[in-house]
Amino acid sequence: MQPIPWEAELEYHAVASPASLPTHPSSNTPLPRPQAESISVASVWQMESTEAADRALSGDSGAFVYRRDGHPNERTLADKLALLHGAAGAVITAQGMSAIGAVALATLAPGGQVWIGDELYGKSHKLFCGEMTRWNVTTRPFDVTSAAELAELASRRVDLVLIETLSNPRLRVPDIAAIAAATHAAGGRLMVDNTFATHLICQPLKLGADLVIESLSKQVNGHSDSMLGLVAGNDRGTLKRIQDVVSTFGLASSPLDCYLTHRGLMSLAVRMERACANALALSKALSQHPAVEAVDYPGLPKHPQHPLATQQLRGGYGWMLSFRVNANGGQLQGLLDRLKPEIQFVPSLGDVSTTVSHPASTSHRSLTPAAREQLGIGLGTIRVSCGIEPTDWLVERFLTAVS
């Protein structure tokens, strides 16, 4: 497995540099550059002329006009993430679901055909299998690890395919290059939800994906204090269409959330290194405990896609894992109670602190019990988002709790 590419992270500061520095009003000499990014809370910008307004609103000048159409904090973050994903451009949205929704609204029309991974974040599944049906869009879930279903995908007509780099919550690993080839053979676009990986662990655009989306609220921010989404890609026409949808439907970001996420991005590589190491150590320990029925983590050799994960990922196998215990007789709640107060039950992920979640009652509650069981998501399934605590301490806390 390749290490985290630290040289790419060093480019953060180059992108952060403004094109020109402010100057002192009397001496006209450049003022010192601030070490931290500033927050621009302006909602609207002054226009020098009607011609300037026309150029700004058409996007020709790059000037800011109205926060809904873009703002300085959004621009800085988008430029950085485009660079780090190897993308031609990026769009920042209010949250991860706004990113997926913006792509759907920008690329689909009535009668559209969508394929989605059968194990997907619950709200993503609900968006396409529920809300989009009112737009006369047909969605088919498919097994992203099935060669037979990929062959069928390649033989069909499809407009959009959505998969996850690491599936939520069982951490299955799709062959992104193979799915991209099948999607393109079907005439469609491949969108990859890269939230569980970030650009540090995987860069789907380099594997053939057309669009990559992320919930920046998670590991990129890392502190559970902002909500943002990302869409990155290489087709500028598609990105322009997505940006128009973000503006028209009011899916734009706030300066404060962009500022907080940018601050988290600066420490992402260091946090990711520890979190991935914690997830690997914890998954190994839990897999050997008699009270644990199964552990899902692509870093374990027994994981069905371990060889593919080693080839496709870099710098680690991610900070997320799931495991299953007996949920009868209050054992599940007892386990959650024994993990507290240091490790809390939180229906989210990507914090500096380790948290646990229960997919059946939170992220995947919109699925029927039968559908969850078919995917291997039972009442005893616990999802773990590993933080940056000392590894030995973290492993000991879980082993004590499950005993």
Q: Considering the candidates 55, 68, 240, 241, report the single residue annotated as catalytic.
A: 68
The whole-number pLDDT of residue 29 equals 76
Q: Considering the candidates 80, 170, 172, 218, report the single residue annotated as catalytic.
A: 218
Q: Catalytic residue at 218?
A: yes
The whole-number pLDDT of residue 20 equals 47
The whole-number pLDDT of residue 22 equals 59
- Mean pLDDT, consecutive 10-residue stretches, the chain (403 aa), reads 65 48 67 82 94 87 92 95 96 98 98 96 94 97 97 98 96 98 98 97 97 98 98 97 97 97 94 96 97 97 98 96 87 93 95 94 76 79 97 98 93
Q: Catalytic residue at 121?
A: yes
Token representation of residue 152: 């069928």
Q: Catalytic residue at 271?
A: no
Q: Considering the candidates 118, 175, 193, 257, report the single residue annotated as catalytic.
A: 193
Strands 381-385 and 320-324: antiparallel
- Phi then psi dihedrals of residue 204, to 5 deg: -60, -30
The whole-number pLDDT of residue 16 equals 45
List, in order, residues 6 or more apart from 42 with CB less than 8 Å away. 64, 67, 71
The whole-number pLDDT of residue 305 equals 98
End-to-end CA distance of the chain: 33
Number of H helices, E strands in the chain: 16, 12
pTM: 0.93
The whole-number pLDDT of residue 282 equals 98
The whole-number pLDDT of residue 242 equals 98
Is 161:153 a contact under the CB 8 Å cutoff? yes
The whole-number pLDDT of residue 304 equals 97
Q: Catalytic residue at 175?
A: no
The whole-number pLDDT of residue 24 equals 65
Is 93:230 a contact under the CB 8 Å cutoff? yes
Q: Considering the candidates 67, 80, 118, 121, report the single residue annotated as catalytic.
A: 121
The whole-number pLDDT of residue 15 equals 47
